[in-house]
Amino acid sequence: MKCVKDIGERELIRRIWNQIRAELRFTAIPNTFDDAVAFESRYKYIVMTNDGINEKTDKLPGMSWHDFGWRLGVMCVSDLIAKGAIPLGMLISLNIPKSLEIKAVEMIYEGLIDSAKEYCFELWGGDMGEASEVTIDGFMVGYSTKKPIFRKGMKLGDYVLTTGKYGLTGAAFHYLLKGGIAVSENTMHNIIQAAYKPRVKLRMGVLLANTEGITASIDSSDGLAESLYQLAEINGLGILIHNIPIADEALEYANTNNLDVKELALYGGEEYEVVFSVRPEAIDEVLENMKKNNIEVHIIGKVIERKGVFIQKANKTIPIERRGWEHYSKDF
């Protein structure tokens, strides 16, 4: 198999461009082979985010390079959606060893292109560098016609909501990394695909900024517990949870493996749901608006004064342990 050093940077860039151009439109200027890109701005707000993946820390056992590329696209789209923005396009920083097979690069871009088709963004090019292992950073630019929603803005008394259900990725990580017991084939398929090929709800990007009464928002990619902690911390408030929406497949897996499904749901991570807060007076309209747009959404708790994140159990308020997935932690 040919590897990167056999063809060199220039030829590799040419191949990637050809691959992108065969599949995607490209409306920004210029249309290829430059180190920058521009667009004529007709948008009120420009929203930007970056996120990265690393072969060592993010490529699960059995995960393909295609999934790896797809994941990077989804990670960035998810960040923008949680701000109430719609993606426009993406620049890629591709840091790879020179011994990497060309085929791997092509598959990464296949996955990226698929995510670009699915979530309607353009691939604008990027930069290439050498690294000991595959480290790809994605920079995505999007827009919003209304003022974007950020992590800061949550108020005392707000409802806390989330899209979707939790636990699938937690189950997948347990199965893939700790050798758990498989359940039925269909269930395992849904569990594994949640980790290999996560999906986002693009429609939320339009809804969030355009729905009155939404005060703050974050995606749940760091895990539900950590995302709640981050929301609480940046707003100097607390969150009391009374309900964790659990995916059926996660429950089945947890029962078979004698695990607490709440653990899987709170600390899984790599889930790309939106966690957001809503003014109490706007809650009915927000719920109706989400339903009208076919977005599954659950009220999971309320914003309280006491700092931290807690769960209501019978009449007790129990702190939820903060142990998200943090880079560089001692026992990483």
Applying the rule CB under 8 A, the residues between 26 and 45 that interact with a copy of itself are 29-30, 33-41, 43-45
Nearest to 48 by CA among 168, 151, 127, 144: 144
**Side chain identity at residue 80, one-letter code:** L
109 binds a copy of itself (CB under 8 A): no
Min dist. Cβ of residue 10 to a copy of itself (A): 6
The smaller minimum CB distance to a copy of itself, of residues 26 and 150, is found at 150
CB 128 within 8 A of CB 13: yes
From candidates 95, 293, 312, 317, binder to a copy of itself by CB under 8 A = 95
Check residue 52 for interaction with a copy of itself (CB under 8 A): yes
In the complex with a copy of itself, which residue's Cβ is closer, 147 or 291?
Answer: 147
Answer for the pair 136, 56: CB distance below 8 angstroms, yes or no.
no
Instruction: For the CB of residue 77, give the shortest distance to a copy of itself in the complex, in Å.
Output: 11
Instruction: Please say whether the beta carbons of 120 and 81 come within 8 A.
Output: no
- CA dist 127 and 92 (Å) reads 6
The strand pairing partners of 74, in sequence order, are none
For position 12 contacting a copy of itself by CB under 8 A, the verdict is yes
Binding to a copy of itself by residue 48, rule CB under 8 A?
yes
Binding status of residue 285 toward a copy of itself by CB under 8 A? no
Residue 38 C-beta: closest distance to a copy of itself, Å: 4
Give residue 106's identity as a one-letter amino acid code: E
Q: Which of residues 136-155 bind a copy of itself (CB under 8 A)?
A: 137, 139, 141, 144, 147-148, 150-152
Query: Interaction with a copy of itself in 206-235: which residues (CB under 8 A)?
Result: 218-219, 230, 234
> What is d(CA 88, CA 73) in angstroms, rounded to the nearest whole number?
12
Residues in Cβ contact with 72 at an 8 Å cutoff, skipping those fewer than 6 apart: 51, 52, 53, 92, 108, 111, 112, 115, 136, 138
Encoding tokens for residue 33? 């082979």
Q: Is 236 in the site for a copy of itself (CB under 8 A)?
A: no
Q: Is 160 helix (H, G, I), strand (E, B) or coil?
A: strand
Of 2, 178, 292, 330, which one interacts with a copy of itself (CB under 8 A)?
330
Tell me whether residue 48 or residue 107 sits nearer to a copy of itself (CB atom): 48
CB nearer a copy of itself, residue 119 or residue 175: 119
Radius of gyration of the chain (CA): 21
CB of 259 to a copy of itself, least distance (A): 26
